[in-house]
Structure 1
């Protein structure tokens, strides 16, 4: 059975000092065979011998399994599970001492712990390999319906004609299809290359740079999100309040696209977790923006909790979600020198917003820019 070199080196380090004392004619490391594997129940992994004589398999020499004045077996076990054994035979004429027996017991315990962790590691690697293969298959299968969506959207555009008022909806479908394609590409390369991140290992990962997006400004990246939010509100029977004017920063470079990632997560949370019928909106500010809803304010003891990875408010736990959206959004904001904060009195951010609700404000932490350009 295959074990890692790390474990075998550890076993050598534990047993070599005992072997060097030259009191053993044989010291052998056995591993328990899997129940379904035919053959001997114990498999010889390593052997230290004072002579060139090799021991026969325990299944051949029945006497080898028995203890006597010179031979002892020390089990390697994890709780009630027998993982293997150490077999020791003294040189002829020598006798066991309490000190030598205690040393062997300590070695057996250390090797048992290391063997248990090694077997767990190999099992996890096997499961990870299996899951990666499954993921590759699923990603491959996802590409087919995704390509079909693009084809159908392009056919609809042809039938509608260039002047049809519904063309922006189809353009939105194609934009979302391209974004899904980028996520699928990123998933497919997991384990092969790291997605871009900051020097801090706790920084969130972003998608690889998209050449098409790098040439866009913030306004061009945010407009598809605003159109998606408007369509979602219409389908859900909500009021949607989108921006009517754009601050000067709308013409700034989109950079790595993190602002769009943040806004996308904030809008998704607003629609998913605010009660049905509550208004949702995106308000643009001179030094940032805020996504708000008119629902009940988030409970006081949850207003910081919801920004932690995997944490969700009590009222949201019966709904689908991972608890990653707000944590990702705040981490992205802070990585770029900004802030993401929650206010349960949106009107304090902008007097046109509701007196009560939940407003997530993204601030650039830069000098105030000119108010509006159009």
Structure 2
């Protein structure tokens, strides 16, 4: 359900969504401005009309003089002479009224209680909208007449003003719609232009996925798209480096596997082709060589599998006493190198890591020291405050070889005549980095080589946090 909702929510292109959002935002702004403008203009016009009516009513009511009409003998006020554009009448205190313009009641706004209150002097004036029986709308202003007990009501038709409201609404609607269309077009142009680098980046990614060409992309400018392209180039560099390491591993592995496989095949062919004249001792020697080569091949394959993993398959992180790990490794190496003496000086040091990986790393360090030690030589092992030092009494490491001894398949000129694949120390470095530590090589004061493994931890078995994982690009080879 979540996946369906997400896909429907983000359906459509990014350019279309940008255009739509831009159009909606501009349309909302125009609508608010148009509505505000319409009501402001309407209120202002209404206020101007009310003010004008009140001024004229006050001016007329302040001069209540009458003129005699000789035609019918009636009298009408002087202010009626200037009332061509408005309707007027006088209103009594009881609500009765007199229309000097003699207009029909259904064509004239009839006064009500509000106007009577003004005649009674209960209100200083009254302004309101009145609708006639014919449906015509008037705006009426009523003020008291000076020196009398009557009030004067002036009323002006709102028909011209309402017509103007309609024209204003049409103009606002027309230009508002034109503004929305223009905003939609502008949003489309901006989205199309702004997303052009994204489309180029997408095309480049598709090309890379198709051709597997990891050439970095060109970066233009310093905006968000440029930073995205820069980040993508960093990812391409990491992928390219990983692929190069993978190819180098395959090439080195094939080269290292070729020698034991060739030797093993040769010995097997000798056994197969040998006749009855071969002695039992010769057959035993051949079988011993085959077993040794199979063991070497097995160890090489195991080392390759260990190094090929970017991370341990299922590591078991636990608090481990490194001194116990060194004791177990010493027990194994002593059996394989009975002519070498191992002296040890250790204090407890607790680390958080995988016990089996740590034991393999320590075993590789001890095997390397035993291999280079002379007959009846001594390997000195020291563990203090998380620093494991393994010193041998061999020929040592040349200064030119020290930076490379922990690289995969690296073997110095002196080591090429000795058994081994050049993977043992590479595994030591990988385990050290996964555990949050480091390993280094140097000359030993005992005349040979010194390998130093440093691991974070504590002198007491208190729980510790797992070490920070080393990135995949740094965990194998440099």
* TM-score, structure 1 as length reference: 0.37
Q: From the CA coordinates, give the structure whose radius of gyration is larger.
A: 2
